């Protein structure tokens, strides 16, 4: 279990911006841009490498929910980035998959 399960269970506070039966979105505690939201499945999946075909629906749901949150945050038209860091070289620090929704400023490419 990670800190994100505690956030799902409301045992640890977070600024929640969206919630439904399958997922939760809350503001990153260390934002890298004016908008930095983490969108997570309520199901515990440690990394994208652990996702299976059984997770097709929830992963599709995350992808379809992210633009709604971007619109809610007012960054959909200007543009935003969706990021799923996986394992050490990508800098994954919390092993419960989470989609970063980042925007509100021009974003450099490629990432560092």
Task: Establish if 94 lies at the interface with ligand 5GP (CB under 6 A).
Answer: yes
Return the beta strands (E) in the chain as ranges. 16-19, 23-27, 35-41, 80-83, 99-103
Rounded Cα distance, 110 and 4, in Å: 28
Q: Which residues contact 67 (CB under 8 A, 6 or more apart)?
A: 76
Of positions 17, 28, 48, 58, contacts ligand 5GP by CB under 6 A: 28
Of positions 85, 101, 102, 103, contacts ligand 5GP by CB under 6 A: 85
Of positions 26, 45, 73, 75, contacts ligand 5GP by CB under 6 A: 26
Residue found under tokens 């925007």 = 103
Task: Establish if 2 lies at the interface with ligand 5GP (CB under 6 A).
Answer: no
What minimum distance in Å lies between the beta carbon of 28 and ligand 5GP?
A: 5
Active-site residue 36, yes or no?
no
Helix extents (H) in 3-74: 3-8, 56-73
- DSSP code of 62? H
Task: Establish if 30 lies at the interface with ligand 5GP (CB under 6 A).
Answer: yes
What minimum distance in Å lies between the beta carbon of 3 and ligand 5GP?
A: 5
């Amino acid at each position: 279990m990670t800190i994100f399960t505690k956030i799902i269970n409301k045992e640890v506070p977070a600024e929640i911006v969206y919630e439904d039966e399958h997922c939760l979105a809350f503001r990153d505690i260390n934002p890298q841009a004016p908008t930095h939201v983490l969108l997570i499945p309520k199901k515990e999946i440690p990394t994208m490498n652990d996702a299976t075909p059984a997770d097709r629906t929830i992963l599709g749901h995350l992808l379809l929910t992210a633009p709604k949150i971007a619109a809610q945050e007012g960054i959909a038209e200007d543009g935003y980035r969706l990021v799923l860091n996986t394992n050490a070289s990508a800098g994954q620090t919390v092993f419960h998959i989470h989609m970063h929704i980042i925007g509100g400023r021009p974003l450099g490419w490629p990432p560092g």
